[in-house]
Structure 1
Amino acid sequence: MSTPVNLNTIRQAPKVLLHDHLDGGLRPQTVIDLAQAAGYSELPHEDAAELGNWFREAADSGSLERYLETFAHTVAVMQTEEALARVAAECVEDLAADGVVYAEVRYAPELFQDGGLTLDQIVQAVQDGFREGERRVAAAGKRIRIGTLLCAMRQNARSTEIAELAVRYRDAEVVGFDIAGPEAGFPPTRNLDAFEYLRQQNAHFTIHAGEAFGLPSIWEAIQHCGAERLGHGVRIVDDIKVDEDGSVHLGRLASYVRDRRIPLEMCPSSNLQTGAARSMAEHPIGLLAKLRFRVTVNTDNRLMSHCSMSGEFAALHEAFGYGWEDMQWFTVNAMKSSFIGFDERLELINDVIKPGYAALLG
């Protein structure tokens, strides 16, 4: 007999996360602790519950630019090796507690140099934190693996430098590269040198595209830059027409994305906050999943969106009636689309994900 679907049972399901920002997932109490240690006095609240609510409300503006402003506080308290390692280790613990078995967590090393750290010191501190978190989880009898994505900020001019950094650490579980930050005015083609270098090095990369900006952002990311995945990609729905009788017509770009199985790193709660969708029930993920795009479900920023993978699945269950088979489909999509080796992906799908859902399906 199938296990009932609710938030508690969803936490038991094995989940895969491809789009999660390290500086967007801190525990509120950790923000407070690190601010005190750093002498940072700009936090709006000193109580963890109130601070957590503030982050969510400040991010609920409907504007991507306003949403990004909340990161000023988290980035400010993550300027030492000790702070970076602590945040990384706690990230692993929190994801594992939510049933995540594989995650690719991303951050922009260039944002953490205000205290004088080198890029290599930053990456090493985060990797040390991730490995410590994995050890703690294993000691508690659970399993999780973390891969790292290094981001370049698209409004700056350091993408090739960060791409080289990602390649330098790819044997230390840095599995790929990304560009992040405001889309409008900063098209992905500003970073062509970085993407060409990554292709030459047989390295993996995803690109934030089609979140706050429309189809041109997606088209450039794929056709000019060669993105393997699309960070968000929600605006691909603008190239899909649904008639009154329910018949669906895909434009050439939408057809290409679906036919090539280009993964969409969709983040439902975050999209509602930044105005990319008006409500969960109206989120394009419903149509895109129905049309069998390579859809994945992600958190984006767990602190700002006050969300978790289990919470995202629970919200989609309520909005679209998704059950265990749908959640398994999203999870296998994500695992297939990850940047680790084929054998490793297959082992997690066959030995962890499918058995986990089989137990819930009864």
Structure 2
Amino acid sequence: MADPTAPVPVTRDAVRRAPKVLLHDHLDGGLRVGTVVDLAREYGYDKLPTTDPGELAAWFLGAAHSGSLVRYLETFGHTVAVLQTREALTRVAAEAAEDLAADGVVYAEVRFAPELHVEGGLDLDAVIAAVLDGFRIGTARAAAAGNTVRVGTLLTAMRHAARSREIAELAVRHRDSGVVGFDIAGAEKGFPPTRHLDAFEYVRQQNAHVTIHAGEAFGLPSIWEAVQWCGADRLGHGVRIVDDITVTDDGPHLGRLAAWVRDSRIPLEMCPTSNVHTGAASSLAEHPIGLLTDLRFRVTVNTDNRLMSGCTMTSEMYDLAETFGYGWDTLRWFTVNAMKSAFIGFDERLALIEDVIKPGYEALSR
């Protein structure tokens, strides 16, 4: 007879039931593949490599798994192309909320770049309103299906463009409607975060939150600028912080920047599968998340782009458990780290930790 006090094995299904928190997820990287096909047909977009959903999913994964961030980013040309109307944006946001809730995510921050969705004539405020409407619809549908999720929105500016101050002002303007913070994304090399210093200063002056894509395809200078010049509350990816850690026979030694990031408890929005696909890590087993977890950096686990990388929060957490031998205690630690680092109020974070996350993991770990 099974021992009722024994921990539930860390299986994929059990991880799906565990409460999870997601801080780094791109709206235009998480579409259902069938929705891409539907929207392309509806809006007359004829540049998809195939309209067969199975083949298209395989194509996205293959392009993403090229080992090149630049090639990885090219896949977004197709998803952004079909996200140029209010109806499309609302549909995709609603489906994202439903999919995350069904995957056991209890809190998510989903980011998108409003400036990429104006080709069909929408203005930036209309783009944001469409996405926020979608998240409200999706969370309501999820709740009706018995899955509760809260979704916050991050507005992203493209680092190669010149609209970051405008997007920063929009993030502040819409913060009482569901926008929780500001971000920059895109190719890091040649586009340092300090190019957008005025945007970051504005957001911070308005008592709003900043996360910055840094330390993914570029190294320590990108991270240093993000935290020391631009005041990032969190680091999007941040995997290259390991370049400032030396491991010798007598243990790991942290350089000044790595020590400062760890001591300051700056959250790292780590996206293991995506990092392997873009070449930021050679394999999951060799991903810096293992070392950074051992050293107790503020590590969080994320999906980045669920369509492109063929992943979910369940698969990310389960694959880490399989690769590094993590049990429920470490998976809970990742989740609590993420909830502590969310861009919502302290009382709301604490309530989710105490009332949802801890009880959820206690039921699994007994």
Task: Sort the TM-score into its range (normalised by shorter chain).
Answer: over 0.9
TM-score (norm 1): 0.99
Structure 1: which amino acid aligns with 2:260? Y
Structure 2 counterpart of 1:263, which letter? Answer: P
Distance 1:345 1:246 in 2: 38
Give, as a single letter, the amino acid of the residue that structure 1 aligns with 2:231.
G
1:153 to 158, 168, 187: 158
1:24-47 deviations in Å (ceiling 9; x for gaps): 000010000000111000001111
Percent identity for Structure 1 against Structure 2: 72
Amino acid at match of 2:162: A
**Pair 1:12 & 2:17 matched:** yes
Give the counterpart letter for 2:10 in structure 1: V
Which of 259, 262, 266 in structure 2 is aligned with 1:262? 266
Q: Does residue 336 of structure 2 align to residue 332 of structure 1?
A: yes
Residue 112 of structure 1: which of 99, 102, 117 is its match? Answer: 117
Is 1:174 aligned to residue 175 of structure 2?
Answer: no
1:275 and 2:279 correspond: yes
How do residues 136-215 of structure 1 correspond to structure 2 at under 5 angstroms? 136-215=141-220
Please report how far the alpha carbon of residue 314 of structure 1 lies from its aligned counterpart in structure 2 after TM superposition.
1.1
Shift of 1:140: 1.1
Q: Paired residue for 2:225?
A: 220
2:348 matched to 1:344?
Answer: yes
Secondary structure of 2:176 counterpart: helix
Query: Which AA in structure 2 matches 1:248?
Result: P
Alignment of 1:12-91 (within 5 A): 12-91=17-96
The alignment status of 1:3 with 2:11, answered yes or no, reads no
Q: Partner amino acid for 1:351?
A: D
Write the letter of the residue equivalent to 1:295: V
Q: Distance in 2 between the 1:347 and 1:271 partners?
A: 32
Cα deviation code 1:79-124 (max 9, x no counterpart): 0000000000000011011100000000000000000100000000
Q: Cα distance, 1:22 vs. partner?
A: 0.2
Q: Does 1:322 align with 2:326?
A: yes
TM-score (structure 2 length as normaliser) = 0.98
Change (3 A) 1:246 1:27: farther
Equivalent-residue separation in structure 1 for 2:204 and 2:315 (angstroms): 36
Range moving further from structure 2, 313-322 or 9-18: 313-322
Deviates more, 1:313-322 or 1:287-296: 313-322
Q: Deviations over 1:39-98 (max 9, x none)?
A: 000001111111001000011110100000000000000000000000000000110111
Cα displacement string for residues 315-341 of structure 1 (whole angstroms, at most 9, x for unaligned residues) = 101110011110000000000000000
CA–CA separation in structure 2 for the residues paired with 1:199 and 1:306: 35
Separation of aligned partners in 1, 2:187 and 2:23 = 20
Output the CA distance in 2 between the equivalents of 1:248 and 1:195.
Answer: 33
> Segments of 4+ in structure 1 off by > 2 A?
none
Structure 2 SS opposite 1:171 = coil
Equivalents in 2 of 1:246, 1:348: separation in Å?
Answer: 40
Please, what is the CA RMSD of the aligned residues?
0.5
Report the alpha carbon displacement of residue 246 of structure 1 after superposing the two structures with TM: 4.9
Quick one: distance in 2 between partners of 1:113 and 1:354? 42
DSSP 3-state at the match of 1:265: strand
Other-structure match for 1:361: 365
Which position in structure 1 is the counterpart of 2:137? 132
1:6 Cα offset (Å)? 1.2
Map 1:236-255; keep pairs closer than 5 Å: 236-243=241-248, 245-255=249-259
Unaligned runs of 5+ in 2: 1-5
DSSP-derived class of the 1:170 partner = coil
Number of residue equivalences: 361
Give, in whole Å, the separation in 2 of the partners of 1:181 and 1:276.
15
Q: CA deviation at 1:230?
A: 0.2
Q: Compute the displacement of 1:147 (Å).
A: 0.1
CA distance in 1 between counterparts of 2:239 and 2:146 reads 37
